[in-house]
Amino acid sequence: MPLRSATPAQMFGATDSLIEQSRTPFRLMCLALLPKAITETLSMLYFVQGHQNLCRWIKIVTNVGAIIVVVIMAIYTPEFIWYILPVTAWLLLLVMVAMAYVVHRRNQLLSWPTLQNTVPSNPAVTFSLPYTIEGVREFLAKVKPFVKACELDSGIAARVAIEELVYEIVETNAGRRPNETFDVRITDKETIFTVVLKSKGPLRNPIYKYSDDKLIHINGSNMRLAILSRVCKHINHKYMNGVNCIYLNFYRA
């Protein structure tokens, strides 16, 4: 008999009677191949994306669950043991995607069901802010989730620094026309997180260097600058063509 027309049982030398008995199990086994393939593919995606804890629980739940179901079926309804194979495969797939959905709900930046991070690699965002408190509040509402998604070790310091810097620019440039704006650009790379702020106006250096023995001289007029100088270990200022340029860097370990 040609190989292309032989059944899997025939390929392994089964007799005609055994072939007849194996038709239903083979068909049921084929129904389990699709959910099994999806399960293995998603598990690999979760692992390479760093969701090791999720992968660990998926393996425990799926393996233990499959063993329990098979044992119960073998004891009470052994005649239906083959039917439970596709049913169990689909049920375990549903359990896995449900666990992935819980992770997705906790972090909306992870797409479901693949749990891929929707933040692109080396992302960059640019904002033009009016010199108003309302404009700063709208900006902070947008930028804080972005900074959090970048997963910096010094993420809190970065958010505090950005907030204090934009408020400093707005408060030292009172009286600007409503249509005037200043620019903020944030870039996240593999080894460095950079914030660049550019505003037109007279020279205004936000860097306030001081030592611990000068803490007594810090008051309301220089408190913000003192905070910036302490939380920002890599901050620079340049004044070029009437534009104050502030460079803020946070390095990843």
Of all residues in the chain, the percent with pLDDT exceeding 90 is 12
Alpha carbon of 252 to those of 49, 79, 150, 161, 191: distances in Å? 19, 60, 11, 17, 5
Confirm whether 111 is domain-assigned. no
Q: What is the pLDDT of residue 245?
A: 93
Domain co-membership, 151 together with 219: yes
Confirm whether 14 is domain-assigned. yes
Q: For residue 201, is pLDDT > 60?
A: yes
Q: For residue 2, is pLDDT > 50?
A: no
Domain co-membership, 246 together with 128: yes
Confirm whether 114 is domain-assigned. no
Q: What is the pTM of this model?
A: 0.50
How far apart CA 134 and CA 205 sit, in angstroms, is 24
How far apart CA 165 and CA 21 sit, in angstroms, is 77
Q: For residue 13, is pLDDT > 50?
A: yes
Domain co-membership, 174 together with 97: no
The residue that leads in pLDDT, 86 or 21, is 86
Q: For residue 1, is pLDDT > 60?
A: no
pLDDT tens for 119-138 read 655 678 889 999 988 988 99
Alpha carbon of 234 to those of 96, 120, 146, 160, 164: distances in Å? 44, 25, 20, 14, 15
Domain co-membership, 169 together with 244: yes
Give the pLDDT band (50/70/90) at residue 183.
Answer: very high
Containing structural domain, residue 228:
124-251
Domain co-membership, 26 together with 131: no
CB 151 within 8 A of CB 90: no
Q: What is the mean pLDDT of residues 160-180?
A: 83
Confirm whether 175 is domain-assigned. yes
Strand partners, 186: 125, 195
Number of domains in the chain: 2
Confirm whether 29 is domain-assigned. yes
Domain co-membership, 244 together with 133: yes
Confirm whether 188 is domain-assigned. yes
How far apart CA 146 and CA 193 sit, in angstroms, is 12
